[in-house]
Amino acid sequence: MIRALYAVLPGDVDDPANPSGGNRYDRRVLDGLAAAGWSIHEHPAAGAWPYPASADRSVLARVLDALPSGSLVLLDGLVASAVPEILAPNAGRLRLAVLVHLPVASEAERAALRHAAVIVATSTWTRQWLLDRYRLPAERVCVAAPGVDRVAAVPGSAAGERLLCVAAVTPLKGHDTLVDALAIVGDLAWRCDCLGSLTKAPGFVERLRRRIDDQGLTRRVHLVGPRTGPALAAGYATADLLVLASRVETYGMVVTEALARGVPVLTTAAGGLPDTLGRAPDGTVPGLLVPPDDPAALAGALRRWLTDPALRDRLRRAARARRETLTCWTTTTMSLAAALEGAR
C-alpha cells in the first residue's frame, strides 16, 4: 500500500542562502520517506514563519481546506505554531502531525499542538520541554532525532588553531559571546571561520562586525556566509575544533556533523547540546562544555585547547570513537515513519 503524506514546510526549505538545521532535517526525512515508498506531496508555505502576514495565513488555510478528508499532514513546527485557528477546524477532518525543531514558547504554539494527533520532537530534550511546559499527553509526543552521514575522519593540525563555527549569525547562536572569548585569547595563534547565514538578523550582524573590528580581530575572525554541500564539507575538512556558543539549542546538528568527521566540539551546556555531544564508548566526552553567555568560561576552554597538546589528542580520540556511535538518517526516517503511522 502506498502511504500518502502531505508536508507543509517553510517556504525557504531549499534556499541555499538560508540553510538551517530544521530545513536540512525536513529535506532529508522527506527524501527518506519517498525512497521508502511514501507518496510525498509538498506544500512550501511562503512567509516569515513563525510570524506570517495575514495573506500567508490565508494561503495556508486554503491549502489545508483543499486536502482530501482523512489525509495525513505533517506540518513543520515553525508554520504550525503560528496558526492554531487554522488547525482547529481541520483537526477532526485531517490527521495532523507537527514536527517541532525549536519550540517558540507561545500560547499559540500550545494551542496548535493540542490539535495534533501526534507531535514529533527532534530531540529527547525537546520532548521533555514540551511535556513540562505544555502538559501534552506523553503518548502523543515522539522523538525522531537527526541522523548524520558517515564520512572520513579529518586529520586536524598539530597546533589545533583552526576554529570553525557553523551557525546562522543570530543572537541565539551567541556569536557575540564567541568574539568576546576570542579577544581574551588574542595572545594565542588561531583563526576562526564562521559559516552561516548573514541575513536572518542583519542588525545583529552589523553590530557583530563592529565588535570584531573594535577587538582588532578582523584578520582572524571571518564571517564567511552560508555554505552548503561540498563547500560546507570543505569547511569541516580543514577544522580542528567546532565552536558553538549557542544560548538556545534543542539538538545542534552541526555537533554531530563535526563528530562524524572526528572533530572535537567546544559548545555550551544549553538545552540538548550536552546530550548531542554525548560520550565515546569509554565514557570520555568528545569535547568541552561551558555555560552559555559566559565569554570568560569559553575563553578558558579555548586556551586549554590551544595550549595543551595532550588534551587535544584525548579529545580527538574521543571524537573519533564517538563517531562510531552516531545514528544515520535511515534511523531518523524510520522513527518518523513509525510516529506518522501512529497518527494514521
pLDDT tens string 140-163: 999 999 999 989 999 999 999 999
CATH of domain 4-147+327-343: 3.40.50.2000
What pLDDT is stored for residue 2 in this prediction? 67
- Mean per-residue pLDDT for 109-120? 97
Architecture of domain 162-325: 3-Layer(aba) Sandwich (3.40)
Q: Is there a contact between 7 and 314 (Cβ–Cβ < 8 Å)?
A: no
Per cent of the chain over pLDDT 70 is: 99
- Mean per-residue pLDDT for 210-238? 96
Q: How far is CA 330 from the centre of its chain?
A: 18
Q: Which of 12-16, 251-255, 256-260 has the lowest average pLDDT?
A: 12-16
What pLDDT is stored for residue 54 in this prediction? 96
**Strand order across the beta sheet in which 241-244 lies:** 221-225, 191-195, 162-166, 241-244, 265-268, 287-290
Provide DSSP, 245-279.
--SS-SS-HHHHHHHTTT--EEEE--TTHHHHH--
Residue 37 pLDDT exceeds 80: yes
Residue 303 class from Cβ within 10 Å (0-12 exposed, 13-18 middle, 19+ buried)?
Answer: middle
**Where, residue-wise, is CATH 3.40.50.2000 in the chain?**
4-147+327-343, 162-325
What pLDDT is stored for residue 344 in this prediction? 66
Provide DSSP, 113-142.
HTT-SEEEESSHHHHHHHHHHH---GGGEE
**For 64, what's the count of Cα atoms within 13 Å in the CB-facing half-sphere?**
29
Q: Is there a contact between 330 and 147 (Cβ–Cβ < 8 Å)?
A: yes
Q: Is there a contact between 293 and 177 (Cβ–Cβ < 8 Å)?
A: yes
Q: Which three cell numbers stand for residue 22?
A: 530544521
Tens-place pLDDT, residues 275-319: 999 999 999 999 999 999 999 999 999 999 999 999 999 999 999
Q: Is there a contact between 108 and 134 (Cβ–Cβ < 8 Å)?
A: no
**Strand order across the beta sheet in which 72-76 lies:** 39-45, 4-10, 72-76, 95-100, 118-121, 141-143
Q: How many CB atoms lie within 10 A of CB 277?
A: 25
Measure the CA–CA gap between 119 and 343, rounded to whole angstroms: 9
Q: Is there a contact between 302 and 267 (Cβ–Cβ < 8 Å)?
A: no
